A and B are shown apart, each in its own frame.
Chain A
Amino acid sequence: MITLQSSDKDVFEIEQSILIQSGTIKNMVEDDFTFIPLPSVDTETLIKIIEYMKKHADKTDSKEKNIKEFDKDFMKKTLNELFALVFAANYLHISSLLELLYPSIADRIKDKITEAIRQIFSIRCDFTPEEERRIIMDNKWAHEGTEIEGTLD
């Protein structure tokens, strides 16, 4: 059993066999750590990560459809929750989870114009007009024809 500690100091005891889906944890276990502090992962996010790893620990063929359903539901989260999961999965090197998360964010970027992306992600743009103009000019070559009018997600 391995103990994980969140940034909120909550502790979770989980079987090693489940946790080795995280490359980071796997390395620490190989170095004989049994208590692993995760100062960059809060409790709420850690609970979700553990839930994911538990579900994915048993990858026999019969469970495959079950796991796909779970993944679909798992992705139904707010943008803030998804961001927290991306940071955690990236830090913990859980590549299957990252691969699941990428489209959930990338789909909100693909084929969108810059203003649409700013609205979707609540981003403030503080380019000066000259800076903006210069970057547009520098990168005109990347866009074919007229810009696609993106939808606001």
Chain B
Amino acid sequence: MASKFWTQGGSDTEEEETDIEDEIENGGAGETTAAAAGSRYLQTNASDSDDSDGQKRVVRSAKDKRFEEMASTVDQMKNAMKINDWVSLQESFDKINKQLEKVMRVTESDRVPNLYIKCLVMLEDFLAEALANKEAKKKMSSSNHKALNAMKQKLKKNNKQYEELINKYRENPESEEEKFEDEDEDEDEDESGSELEDPSQIAAESSDEDDEGEDVDDDDADGAWEKKLSKKEKLMDREFKKDPSEITWDTVNKKFKEVVAARGRKGTGKFEQVEQLTFLTKVAKTPAQKLEILFSVISAQFDVNPGLSGHMPINVWKKCVQNMLVILDILVQYPNIVVDDMVEPDENETQKGADYDGTIRVWGNLVAFLERIDNEFFKSLQCIDPHTREYVERLRDEPLFLVLAQNVQEYLERIGDLKSAAKVALRRVELVYYKPQEVYDAMRQLAVLSEDGEKDGDETKVEETRGTSAFVVTPELVSRKLTFPENSRALMDILVTLIYKSGDERTKARAMLCDIYHHALFDEFSIARDLLLMSHLQDTIQHMDVSTQILFNRAMAQVGLCAFRVGLIAEGHGCLSELYSGGRVKELLAQGVSQSRYHEKTPEQERLERRRQMPYHMHINLELLEAVHLICAMLLEVPNMAANSLDAKRKVISKTFRRLLEVSERQPFTGPPENVRDHVMAATRALCKGDFQKAFDVINSLDVWKLLRNRESVLEMLKAKIKEEALRTYLFTYCSSYDTLGLDQLTKMFDLSDAQIHSIVSKMLVNEELHASWDQPTRCIIFHDVEYSRLQALAFQLTEKLSILAESNERAVEARFGGGGLDLPLRRRDNQEYAAGTSGGGGGRWPDLSYNQGRQGSSGRAAYTGGGRPLALGQASRDRSSQSRGTGGYSGRAGSGMRGYQMDASARMVSLSRGVRG
């Protein structure tokens, strides 16, 4: 048909019009043949279609589709030729080349379809004709002309590959037609063959095909042979299914190697590979082989994940977990199989059957797989919108993973690989540590419920596997049941103990942080604090990876909240202030991306940051955190400001709070409080006047309190604290106005008992904050006017500065004569900076997550000396006190001593050095 067109359309273009009709006819004919083929196929296969395997059908239809696509492209090209449209012709040509690739892939043969060759020849002729027709060429539009030239180049290049075939076609254009038909038939046979059950029939058919190929052209035999091979390959799958006795270890192994080799190659369907491998697991001959293949299945399942940022499809994830369980089943069933990723096992190791006595080594790493699964779970939670049902559904999968982790851990413990077991235990810990008891209970219930549900599902599944008649039947030895201790603390204890015993450095650190977090969550402040101090984590956290630093920040935040709940205001503030000093809380806790005004983030950084975000259900409520931080700061700062009203800049407990206060004071009008800050600021204003009731009411109206478990007791505590601080503020502010002040009046004013007021005031007296004394008989406070004059205050300041100067002078001399080396002065500077009070905003030791960490590395030293750590470690504080003893000779020390190294023993452990009322 086409050849007729070609012989006709050789010279003149005017006849094109008539050709179109011809063309239409042509297309119609093609379609009808295709339809006929389809119907024929339907007829022949009508009876067999029930048995057909879904997978193969996909392959077949794809092939069909490809050919159709190609044919339609050829039609398009023909149309383009008729109107001499080289631009669209060029596009079509590119398209057909792409389609060719697909077709080749689908047919899995090396032979180029004749349709394509035909098209090439057609193009070549048309091109030659167009080039010959110079006048027409001149008339062409520029874009068309350009396309023509480009086409010329492309075609020349492209046709070289198929030269032989083209020549062949040119020699014998008639037979091509037949061959095309053949092709169709071939396909049909192919298709029908794939449905046939009897291998002998297939064999006959393939031989038929062979004959035909030979008939048509001897040279073609090569291609046909190739084709046959590929077909046989496909048959193999079927053979496995059909004839269990014929399948040997070798065939499975060969096929397995083949599939694995295709992994990662272009054009290898990821899902298909998974399915192929899954099928292979069913036909595996030995347990070891099954194990090996299962490992590959899991790897392939991981491959399905489209990119680093995306997560694995959830159903794949679930299957992956199931596969892991099967692996464990096998491992439990055959204890002589050893999984190892250190040594490359023998090629035929897996040939050893189930009855083999010695150890069988299989390559694989259970822990790595488990961690990967966990990561994928984590990632999926990151990606899914937390306000959807999907998220909740996803969370329900958590017990599934916990079961797996538990089993893996048990297995590892059994084989004595405690180090890996610790790693697995850490994964479990990380799923449990942030759960309060209620959530934990809910999870337990869910696990129990889903077990019941799963039992039915399991049975059907077992049947299913039997239905496919796996050679190596693996009974479910590993329990699919989650055994939770009653109490999450108990679970944590078991896991953490294991980790502490046998984990590596990072695992231990993370477990410790989780442990601290968990203790803090359960209001056990002293335990959490002791753990934190004993572990010396603050010293080393700077050198850890970012996610551990985030965990550290989270733990600190939780410890701070805990301290607040149990009423330790100063400690709570110490823990939280660093977190808030930089204004990047979100970033530090990895709970959202904070926009920085000063430097733009590169997309790379943003992506990195997004990848380390915490899933929503693990978030620490930021409003609560902020409220707690600001309230702590308020309770400490308000009396402090009142005490140092003369010299406001000297002792600042919370810079953040001061800044906020300044901002709010600058406002011309203060509206009713809206957010947390406004509330605290309003409370601060009331507290400054000593109006504790109003302050408490404002604070009480915050709605974050409903997030607290023991809300009533916390608010009760808060009220008591506010009263106390209101009293202190009042005394500081107005002590100069009184000569004496009656205890009864104070009781009335602040709604506190005599004993409480007595103790508060006495404490102030002892700390020399208030220059007064008790007059017991009259129940009065008698104030002594020992206010410093300004000159005296200045003199104090001067002496302080002088002592600093003298000290640094000494150090300079030391450095000059090489007395103590250079490290010593550096460390000591810590001390000095404190005294100078110039520690700029407590330039924190808070783990800095910003990406410009590298840049800050150089200034890290400065930041180090800059000041306060959240918790002064036992050692550090000892260090410091010894230093201040060493420099005690300077009179100025006496003044700076008030800065507060001396604090009551309990406070010393935890609070910031400057977090104490001086």
Please say whether chains A and B are actual partners in one complex: no
Q: Which residues of A contact B (CB under 8 A)?
A: none
Q: Which residues of B contact A (CB under 8 A)?
A: none
